[in-house]
Amino acid sequence: MDIIVRQGDSLWHYSQLFKIDMQLINDSNRAVQPNALSIGQKIRIPGFVAQEYQIRQGDTLWKIAQNRNLPLETLQLVNPNINPTNIKVGQTIKVPLRITWRLVNGGQRYDYQTLITDISRLESVYPFLQIPSIGKTVLGKNIPEMVIGTGGKRVHYNGSFHANEWITTPIIMTFINDYLLSLTNHNAIRGLSTSRFYQQSTLSFVPMVNPDGVDLVLHGPPSSAPWNTKVIDYNKGSTDFSGWKANIRGVDLNDQFPARWELEKARNPDQPGPRDYGGEKPLSEPEAIAMADLTKRRDFSRVLAFHTQGEVMYWGFENQEPPESETIVTEFSRVSGYEPVKTIESYAGYKDWFIQDWRRPGFTIEIGKGINPLPLSQFDEIYQKTLGIFLAGLYM
């Protein structure tokens, strides 16, 4: 919601009026000099939208504000041009509306367009969110990252490395939405106050690493050549893509990282296909390159890669993980009931590479149980179990 600066205003004053943390207001107005506001300048207030309201018989601004639990002054701020002592029946004014509900609807077939729509809805209500693109897919889609906060503990979460595991994306988006609601409404999540996390952490999310693959699973082949026919060849002539994990070129993005890639290559298919083909060389695919570049740039303290399924969490790689990995995964297990597994015979995954090159905690979290793609009927149960893991990723 936008308001217009008046004589004597300050961001601190807005913070008090709207009960929104000062830091959230600062971070929603990065281009603004907090100590040099100018009259008439536009300021964004996170967590609110301005709703139109038509004046009825007997209304006063004071009554309207009172009914909405807002100071009268907030009405004047969003309606700089009205005369408060002379409002007329039928006149339309703006009323600040505090957002206390989710904008993301996770329980749906969550394709790339749904992601983009939800991101822009969140961005407009929570302008302190930063949404850089980390690169483009084979089909030219931007891969968005969502960044919350500026603290020193840099925690990264990603989903949908594997196309038919797309339910991981709405799970992550729902967590982001709940986190934003908690920050702007001062609601604790599971007893944890999140404003402390906002101060201490930079949260990085790439909710959909493989948008081309997700759309292939949900909508079938793309309309244009050459991938419209190639993916069907790679899929052995079938138009059922429910078993597809790879990107649009038939490369498994989670077999693309330079962490004993040759070993993974040797035990896997040597042709493009729905799953497990690691490519001609490590980091040949734009989606994997984008993730590797992001990870090098950001210096993450820890990473959590969300996959389906099995309710297990992989936390080791070649004994290169630090001791704290085990402490953290033990807490993940306590809050979710998921089982920690140190290693399996598997290489070249994103978390493997992170552990190997940074010697910091990296996890692959296999959420839910059943056959991929997991049915949306599991959404709420999966969310309840993984919510604890998201939060433990922050406080551990």
Least gap, CB of 161 to Zn ion (angstroms):
6
Alpha-helix runs per DSSP H in the chain: 11-18, 22-28, 61-67, 72-78, 112-125, 168-185, 194-200, 211-219, 227-234, 261-266, 286-298, 324-336, 350-358, 379-395
Q: Interaction with Zn ion in 280-309: which residues (CB under 5 A)?
A: 307
Least gap, CB of 37 to Zn ion (angstroms):
49
Q: For residues 184 and 308, which CB has a smaller minimum distance to Zn ion in the complex?
A: 308
| CA dist., res. 200 & res. 110, Å (int) | 31
Q: For residues 307 and 385, which CB has a smaller minimum distance to Zn ion in the complex?
A: 307
Q: What is the rounded (10 degree) CA torsion for 124, 130, 135, 140?
A: 0
Binding-residue pattern over the window 10 to 49 for Zn ion, x denoting contact by CB under 5 A: ----------------------------------------
Q: Extract the runs of DSSP E, i.e. beta strands, from 277-372.
A: 302-308, 312-314, 339-341, 362-367
Least gap, CB of 307 to Zn ion (angstroms):
3
Q: For residues 9 and 366, which CB has a smaller minimum distance to Zn ion in the complex?
A: 366
CB-based closest residue to Zn ion: 307
Joined together, the tokens standing for residue 307 give 């996959």
Q: Is the separation of the CB atoms in 209 and 247 below 8 Å?
A: no
Q: For residues 115 and 209, which CB has a smaller minimum distance to Zn ion in the complex?
A: 209
Q: Interaction with Zn ion in 329-348: which residues (CB under 5 A)?
A: none
Rule CB under 5 A: say whether 162 interacts with Zn ion.
yes
Q: Which residues of 183-207 are buried (b: 16+ CB within 10 A; e: fewer)?
A: bbeeeebeeeebeebbeebbbbbbb
Binding-residue pattern over the window 201 to 230 for Zn ion, x denoting contact by CB under 5 A: ------------------------------
The DSSP bridge partners found for residue 303 are 156, 362
Stretch that binds Zn ion, among 86-94, 163-171, 221-229, 281-289 (CB under 5 A): 163-171
Rule CB under 5 A: say whether 275 interacts with Zn ion.
no
Joined together, the tokens standing for residue 285 give 């695919």
The DSSP output letter for 289 is: H
Rule CB under 5 A: say whether 153 interacts with Zn ion.
no
Across the chain, which distance is largest between two alpha carbons, in Å? 79
Stretch that binds Zn ion, among 94-102, 113-121, 165-173, 183-191 (CB under 5 A): 165-173
Q: For residues 307 and 351, which CB has a smaller minimum distance to Zn ion in the complex?
A: 307
Stretch that binds Zn ion, among 135-143, 164-172, 266-274, 335-343 (CB under 5 A): 164-172
Least gap, CB of 245 to Zn ion (angstroms):
6
Q: Is the separation of the CB atoms in 171 and 379 below 8 Å?
A: yes
The DSSP output letter for 311 is: S
| CA dist., res. 326 & res. 317, Å (int) | 12
Least gap, CB of 170 to Zn ion (angstroms):
16
Q: Is 352 left (phi over 0), alpha (psi -120 to 50) or beta?
A: alpha
Residues serving a catalytic function are 347, 366
Q: How far is CA 194 from CA 174, 207, 366, 392, in A?
A: 15, 20, 25, 12
The number of residues that bind Zn ion (CB under 5 A) is 3
Binding-residue pattern over the window 307 to 326 for Zn ion, x denoting contact by CB under 5 A: x-------------------
The single-letter code of the amino acid at 267 is R
Least gap, CB of 113 to Zn ion (angstroms):
22
Q: For residues 165 and 212, which CB has a smaller minimum distance to Zn ion in the complex?
A: 165
Q: Which residues bind Zn ion (CB under 5 A)?
A: 162, 165, 307
